[in-house]
C-alpha cells in the first residue's frame, strides 16, 4: 500500500446513540484510492473515499456514469487490488479484517461469508450451462461443507426465500429458461447462500423493467431486515436509492461530495451537485412540458480533473476559491444536519441559516 497523499477525510462522526455504539463498524473504509494506469495516464477512478457502515444499515452510493461507483464497490470488496496497472491505497476493513492486507486465499474466504456482491447483469454471475440449483449447491458444499442432499435442499430453500415460484422445478432449469427478473433473484440467492453480513449490490435492477425493479428492491430490503444484513446499493438512479437507504453517498468524479442521511439529502441537499441532480429528475407531479433544471456541461475527464473542486466548471455558485482549493468532506455546520458531511466551500443554505 502506498502512503496516503493527503490527510484522511473525516469519516462521519457517530453522533447519536444508534450509530455510536462501541462495537467497530462492520465496514470501515478510510481514504480509499484506486487508480488505473493507462497509456494515456493515470485514471483516478476513486480518489480518497471514506465510508463506514454498521450492522443492518443500508447505504446508497449514487452518481452519474463514470463517477467511480463500481470501482469503489469492487475495491471495497477486494475484487480490485493493488498490482500491476492498478494502484490501490487506503484501508478497507470488513468485520475488522483489512481486506487489502489479506492473502488472495484470505480474501476468498471473506467472500460469501462476510461480504457478497450482486451485479447489474445477472448473466455475469451465472454459468449458462449450469442448472440454477447447482450454482447454489456448489457454493454451499464448498463454503459450508454441506453434503450433496443437504446442499440441494438448502438450495431450494434459498430459491423460495428470494420469491421464486415452484423452487424445486426452477432448481432444475438453466439460466436461459428464466426471465431477467428471475435470474437476478437467483443471483441474490447465490449472494445470500453463505449468510454474508454485508451485501454490495451494484445496479441490481438497472437492466430490469420498472415493475420487476420494484419487486427486486423490495426483496433486497426485506431480506436485509430479516437477516440483519448491511447493504450497499449502488445506482446511477437517485430515485431508486431515495426511500430505500438510511444514508446516501453522492459521488462525483471519484470523490464523495455529500454523505448524509438519505432523507436529509433529498429534502435539503447541501452540495450544489446533489441539489442539481435531484432537480433534474423528471417527476410525476410536474405538469407536462415542464422544462427541467438541467446541469450544463459534463463530468470532467478523470485523466485530467480540474484543480480545486471538480464540480466547479459546472457549478452556479463557484468562486475563485473553488477553482484553486479542493474542498474536503466536512461536517456541515448547521445543527439540524447532525452527522451530515459535504465537500463544498459554499454549501447550500449556509447563508440563510447564518442569518437566522
Partner 1 sequence: MTTTRDAPALTATDLVVEFPAGRGQKVHAVSGVSLEVAAGETLGILGESGCGKSTVGRSLIQLPPPDAGTVRLGDVTLTGLAPRELRRARARMQIIMQDPVSALNPRRRVKDLVWEGRSIWGPGDDTRDKDARVDAALRDVGLDPATVRDRRPHELSGGQCQRVCIARALMLDPEVLICDEPVSSLDVSVQAQILNLLETTTRRRALSMVFIAHDVSVVKNISDRVMVMYLGKVCEVLPSDGMQHEAVHPYTRLLLASLPEAQLGSAAPAGPPAAEERAAELPSPLNPPSGCRFRTRCPLATERCAAEEPAPREIRPGHRIACHHAEPRRNHP
How big is the CA angle at 126 (ends 171 and 92), to the nearest 5 degrees?
120
Q: Judged by CB under 6 A, which of 25, 48, 63, 95 binds ligand ATP?
A: 63
Rule CB under 8 A: say whether 168 interacts with partner 1.
no
Rule CB under 6 A: say whether 81 interacts with ligand ATP.
no
Stretch that binds ligand ATP, among 61-69, 106-114, 121-129, 267-275 (CB under 6 A): 61-69
The b/e string for 262-285 (b: 16+ C-beta within 10 A; e otherwise) is: bebbbebbbbbbbbbbbeeeeeee
Sign of CA dihedral 188, 58, 345, 297: positive
Pairing mode of beta strands 115-118, 198-202: parallel
Residues 292, 140: Cα–Cα separation, whole Å: 50
Q: Judged by CB under 8 A, which of 298, 303, 307, 324 binds partner 1?
A: 298
Rule CB under 6 A: say whether 255 interacts with ligand SF4.
no
By beta-carbon proximity to partner 1, the closer residue of 176 and 214 is 214
Rule CB under 5 A: say whether 70 interacts with Mg ion.
yes
DSSP E strand stretches across 221-334: 230-235, 247-252, 255-261, 330-331
343 near 273, Cβ under 8 Å? no
By beta-carbon proximity to partner 1, the closer residue of 196 and 300 is 300
By beta-carbon proximity to Mg ion, the closer residue of 68 and 272 is 68
By beta-carbon proximity to ligand ATP, the closer residue of 140 and 253 is 253
173 near 132, Cβ under 8 Å? yes
Please give the grid coordinates belonging to residue 30: 478510510
Which residue carries 453463505 as its cell?
Answer: 194
- Work out what residue 322 binds among ligand SF4, ligand ATP, Mg ion, none; the CB cut-off runs from 5 to 8 Å by kind: ligand SF4
Rule CB under 6 A: say whether 311 interacts with ligand SF4.
yes
Pairing mode of beta strands 230-235, 198-202: parallel
Closest approach, Cβ 42 to ligand ATP, in A, equals 9
Pairing mode of beta strands 86-94, 27-38: antiparallel
Residue whose beta carbon is closest to Mg ion: 70
Rule CB under 8 A: say whether 293 interacts with partner 1.
yes
Rule CB under 8 A: say whether 124 interacts with partner 1.
no
Residues 197, 76: Cα–Cα separation, whole Å: 14
Number of residues that bind Mg ion (CB under 5 A): 1
Number of residues that bind partner 1 (CB under 8 A): 42
Q: Judged by CB under 6 A, which of 19, 30, 36, 174 binds ligand ATP?
A: 36
Closest approach, Cβ 344 to partner 1, in A, equals 17
Question: CA Rg, the chain, in Å?
Answer: 21
Residues 178, 93: Cα–Cα separation, whole Å: 37
Which residue carries 475563485 as its cell?
Answer: 320
Rule CB under 6 A: say whether 199 interacts with ligand SF4.
no
Rule CB under 6 A: say whether 66 interacts with ligand ATP.
yes
Closest approach, Cβ 298 to partner 1, in A, equals 5
By beta-carbon proximity to Mg ion, the closer residue of 144 and 212 is 212
Rule CB under 8 A: say whether 320 interacts with partner 1.
no
Find the largest Cα–Cα distance for the chain: 69
Rule CB under 8 A: say whether 160 interacts with partner 1.
no
Contact set with ligand SF4 (CB under 6 A) = 271-272, 309, 311-312, 315, 317-318, 322, 327, 344-346
Contact set with Mg ion (CB under 5 A) = 70
Amino acid at each position: 500500500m502506498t502512503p496516503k497523499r493527503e490527510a484522511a477525510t473525516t469519516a462521519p462522526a457517530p453522533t447519536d446513540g444508534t450509530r455510536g455504539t462501541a462495537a467497530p463498524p462492520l465496514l470501515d473504509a478510510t481514504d480509499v484510492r484506486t487508480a488505473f494506469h493507462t497509456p494515456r495516464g493515470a485514471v483516478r477512478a476513486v480518489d480518497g473515499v471514506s465510508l463506514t457502515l454498521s450492522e443492518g444499515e443500508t447505504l446508497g452510493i449514487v452518481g452519474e456514469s463514470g463517477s467511480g461507483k463500481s470501482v469503489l464497490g469492487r475495491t471495497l470488496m477486494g475484487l480490485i487490488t493493488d498490482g500491476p496497472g492498478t494502484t490501490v491505497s487506503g484501508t478497507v476493513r470488513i468485520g475488522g479484517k483489512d481486506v487489502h492486507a489479506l492473502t488472495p486465499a484470505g480474501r476468498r474466504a471473506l467472500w460469501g461469508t462476510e461480504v457478497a456482491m450482486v451485479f447489474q447483469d445477472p448473466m455475469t454471475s451465472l454459468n449458462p450451462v449450469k442448472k440454477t440449483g447447482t450454482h447454489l449447491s456448489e457454493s454451499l458444499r464448498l463454503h459450508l461443507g454441506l453434503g450433496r442432499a443437504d446442499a440441494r435442499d438448502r438450495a431450494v430453500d434459498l430459491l423460495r426465500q428470494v420469491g421464486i415460484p415452484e423452487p424445486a422445478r426452477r432448481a432444475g432449469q438453466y439460466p436461459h429458461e428464466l426471465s431477467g427478473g428471475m435470474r437476478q433473484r437467483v443471483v441474490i440467492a447465490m449472494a445470500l447462500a453463505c449468510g454474508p453480513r454485508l451485501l454490495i449490490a451494484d445496479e441490481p435492477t438497472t437492466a430490469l423493467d420498472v415493475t420487476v425493479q420494484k419487486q427486486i428492491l423490495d426483496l433486497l430490503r426485506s431480506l436485509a431486515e430479516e437477516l440483519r444484513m448491511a447493504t450497499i446499493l449502488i445506482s446511477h438512479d437517485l430515485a431508486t436509492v431515495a426511500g430505500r437507504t438510511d444514508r446516501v453517498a453522492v459521488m462525483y468524479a471519484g470523490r464523495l461530495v455529500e454523505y448524509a442521511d438519505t432523507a436529509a439529502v433529498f429534502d435539503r441537499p447541501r452540495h450544489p451537485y446533489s441539489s442539481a441532480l435531484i432537480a433534474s429528475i423528471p417527476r410525476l407531479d410536474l405538469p407536462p412540458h415542464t422544462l427541467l433544471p438541467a446541469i450544463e456541461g459534463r463530468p470532467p475527464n478523470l485523466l485530467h480533473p480540474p484543480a480545486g473542486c471538480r464540480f466547479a466548471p459546472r457549478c452556479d455558485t463557484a468562486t475563485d476559491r473553488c477553482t484553486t482549493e479542493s474542498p474536503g468532506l466536512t461536517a456541515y455546520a448547521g445543527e439540524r444536519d447532525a452527522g451530515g458531511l459535504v465537500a463544498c466551500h459554499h454549501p447550500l443554505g449556509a447563508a440563510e441559516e447564518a442569518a437566522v
